[in-house]
Amino acid sequence: MLKSIAIMTSGGDSPGMNAAARAVVRTALYEGVKVFGIYDGYKGMLEDRIVELNSQSVSDIIQRGGTFLGTARCPEFKQEETRKEALKILQRHGIEGLVIIGGDGSLTGGSLLSDLGMPIVGLPGTIDNDVWGSDYTIGADTALNTILDAINKLRDTASAHRRIIVLEVMGRKCGWLAMMAGIAGGAEYVLVPEVKYDLNKICDELKTSYDNGRRYSIVVVAEGVGSAVDIGKEIGEKTGIDTRVTVLGHVQRGGSPTAEDRVKASMLGEKAALALLNGQSNIVFGINEGKVVAIDLHDSVNNNKTLDPELVRLARVLSK
Ligand SMILES: Nc1ncnc2c1ncn2[C@@H]1O[C@H](COP(=O)(O)OP(=O)(O)OP(=O)(O)O)[C@@H](O)[C@H]1O
Ligand SMILES: O=P(O)(O)OC[C@H]1O[C@](O)(CO)[C@@H](O)[C@@H]1O
Ligand SMILES: [Mg+2]
């Protein structure tokens, strides 16, 4: 069994990262293993901001969004020389393995660090739900609920004014958040990067529906499609219907994690720690059909997740 491991969070924060880190720390301590916390992702690793954690270090965090370890984007980590420096720093602390909680980019960094000889176990922590091999990423459920809350409120004002509301949501190149929010929020249209759309046709349909008495429409736009401001302007001009745009932004990243995110993050954290301690590495733990699964780390970062066509069909059928 390993004697000393470390944990870090990296990339965009996501609600539930704290629950996952807490589970890693407490599992390792339960097994009598030393755990270090690396602050602010790869940036803090390179600056040697590495501190030993105890059980109390992770008290009172399970209910909090963000990450108590801090996070960062660190473009320098893409250079091999920088990663070699990072490896030396980890080795100086006697760190024998590392749990990385982050999105596809952070896990890519982890897979390259593992190529240099550091055992790595990844956990998918991102609101984008774009990590290949897992149906689920830590934080996506909380973000989805935040978006739904916004849609409910936007629907009230849209209906009062007989307006079209165009709502831009996050997700980078992945349309999962937009598609799920569209289905759960009853949006009339969902524009995602994975599916082609015809804005002229959408505008014609919107016009006809308002001519027939419709009072409001919600159009959810995934950020990967382009600017909702531009799309909203075009819709307003082409339909002649009063149109407003909301770009939800970073509010989607914050907030207390949902029960689903806390429980799944805790399950994943325990599995990650146990696997690493017992000599497994270069894997990502994810969740498929409600069960924790191990995915090869290199496979995960070398493949692109696709949007379930069933979800696309469902959104289309239910909005008619
Ligand atoms: N190709 C790469 N090689 C080495 N390191 C990388 C690579 N891609 C990303 N990283 C490291 O991981 C960090 C986070 O990556 P990125 O900004 O893509 O976020 P992420 O982990 O995908 O999370 P999210 O998309 O949710 O914000 C980068 O700043 C960089 O330090
Ligand atoms: O916080 P930043 O650096 O502005 O990054 C925003 C990006 O991070 C995410 O919130 C998470 O990947 C994306 O959905 C979004 O495009
Ligand atoms: Mg990412």
What ligand has the least distance to the C-alpha of 169? 2
- Ligand 3 (single-atom ion) residues, CB below 5 Å: 103-105
- pLDDT for 320 equals 80
State in Å: Cα 86 to ligand 3 middle: 21
Question: Which stretch of DSSP H or E encloses residue 108?
Answer: helix 104-115
For residue 32, is it left (φ>0), alpha (ψ between -120 and 50) or beta?
left
Q: Are 273 and 23 in contact (CB under 8 A)?
A: yes
State in Å: Cα 97 to ligand 1 middle: 19
The residue written with tokens 């790869």 in the block is: 42
Q: Residues 183, 184, 188, 192: is their CA dihedral positive or negative?
A: negative
For 92-129, how does the pLDDT look when each residue is reduced to its tens digit (9 = 90+)?
Answer: 999 999 999 999 999 999 999 999 999 999 999 999 99
State in Å: Cα 184 to ligand 2 middle: 22
Distance of alpha carbon 284 from its chain centroid, rounded?
A: 15
- Is the predicted ipTM greater than 0.95, yes or no? yes
Global pTM? Answer: 0.98
Task: From the CA of 104, give the closest atom in ligand 1.
Answer: 22
Count of beta carbons in the 10 Å neighbourhood of residue 64: 17
Mean of the per-residue pLDDT values for the chain?
98
CA atoms of 231 and 219, how far apart (whole Å) = 10
For 150-191, how does the pLDDT look when each residue is reduced to its tens digit (9 = 90+)?
Answer: 999 999 999 999 999 999 999 999 999 999 999 999 999 999
Residue numbers in the known binding site for substrate are: 126-128, 163, 170-172, 223, 244, 250-253
Strands of the sheet containing 291-296, edge to edge, are 50-53, 34-38, 4-9, 97-102, 120-124, 283-288, 291-296
Pocket lining for ligand 2, CB < 6 angstroms: 12, 103, 126-128, 170-172, 223, 253
For 275-304, how does the pLDDT look when each residue is reduced to its tens digit (9 = 90+)?
Answer: 999 999 999 999 999 999 999 999 999 999
Q: What is the band of 34 on the pLDDT scale with cuts at 50, 70, 90?
A: very high
